[in-house]
Structure 1
Amino acid sequence: MVDNAQFALMAQYNQWMNQKLYAVCASIPDRDRKRDLGAFFKSIHGTLNHLLYGDKAWMGRFTEQPFTGAKLGQELYGDFDELRQARVVLDQQILAWAQQLNVDWLHAAFEYTSGIDSQTRVLPTWVLVTHMFNHQTHHRGQLTTLIKQLGYEPGITDLPWLPALNSYG
């Protein structure tokens, strides 16, 4: 049975990892953050922008407040500090949202139209919420590789190291 505890945990993990990675990225010169390193979204900055875009798109669908005015791959923020602040705000929204998810809503059918192929799909909501969190993890994995390639250390990224879990049991 899927419930909101799983997604609340993933929202905590998302926030924690974004805080860690943005802290490391703040120490990387802007020209290096924006340098094309051959990643899918070219640079660290491009990947950070894509992560924000994806989360805004999914959260817009889930909260029935569509995210408009941007396209896949578009830079939402050229300024790192503005990008970081937008990330902080969105992570707080995701955490609050995940903590109040309703089990019936998670198990209901969810219809959406993809921004990638314009196809309309209907899937269980919990599958799409899982996808949002999986998408974050996927691209943060790319970020840690890019960060390491530039000689910086992102630290441990595994879920069991989430500080909130240290007091478990």
Structure 2
Amino acid sequence: MDGVAYFQRMARYNSWANGHVLDACAGLEPRILDAKRAAFFPSILKTLNHILVADRLWLGRLVGVPEKIALDTILFDDFTKFRAAREAQDAKVIVFADQLDAQTLSGDLSYQSMLAGAYTLPQEIVLAHIFNHQTHHRGQLHSMLVEAGAAPLSIDLVYYYLEAQG
């Protein structure tokens, strides 16, 4: 599989995994979603918002329309509105991945960090980071969701692959 196809698959997996997390969240009361938890972003809702903020920052940089949003911004405190925004963002990531080509993927991205100076990174590293970052925080969400009473999630990449082949 070439790099373009890999990132196209990862965009779809990412959306699929986020859908499972959102389904688990939908079964919880709003007070449970916002309850204080032992995590870097100290609630399920705050962690969800952080992932969305980071995705908007990175995709904005990649498409040349950078946003300025603090990493701990709460974009949506209403879960229904959050879910619609998350699903829309996942669709944008898929569209971006579907438009990738080898030349773009082999290029560099120069950007201004939210916390530090200017950086230039290979586009493929930026894309890998986007998906890795979400996986990192979905792991935290999984733990918080189970603690809140949700059933454990089967959201590993292999489960997506098996279902997609189905």
Match in the other structure for 2:80: 81
* Match 1:153 to one of 148, 151, 154: 151
TM-score by length of 2: 0.94
* Match 2:136 to one of 124, 135, 138: 138
Letter in 1 for 2:150: Y
> 2 CA distance for matches of 1:125 and 1:5?
15
Count of residue pairs the alignment pairs up? 166
Runs of 4+, deviation exceeding 4 Å: 163-166
Letter in 2 for 1:60: G
TM-score by length of 1: 0.92
Residues 89-122 of structure 1: CA deviation (Å, up to 9, x unaligned):
11111111111212111111221111122x1111
Match in the other structure for 1:25: 25
> 1 CA distance for matches of 2:60 and 2:2?
22
Letter in 2 for 1:53: V
Q: Which runs of 5+ in 1 are unaligned?
A: none
> 1 CA distance for matches of 2:37 and 2:137?
14
> 1 CA distance for matches of 2:114 and 2:76?
20
Match in the other structure for 2:121: 123
Matched-pair contact (CA < 8 Å) for 1:34–1:44: yes
Identical aligned pairs, as a percentage?
Answer: 36
1:164 Cα deviation from its structure 2 partner: 6.7
> 2 CA distance for matches of 1:89 and 1:63?
16
Aligned residues: CA RMSD: 1.6
Matched-pair contact (CA < 8 Å) for 1:2–1:126: no
Match in the other structure for 2:48: 48
Matched-pair contact (CA < 8 Å) for 1:24–1:152: yes
Matched-pair contact (CA < 8 Å) for 1:20–1:154: no
Secondary structure at the aligned position of 2:165 is classed as coil
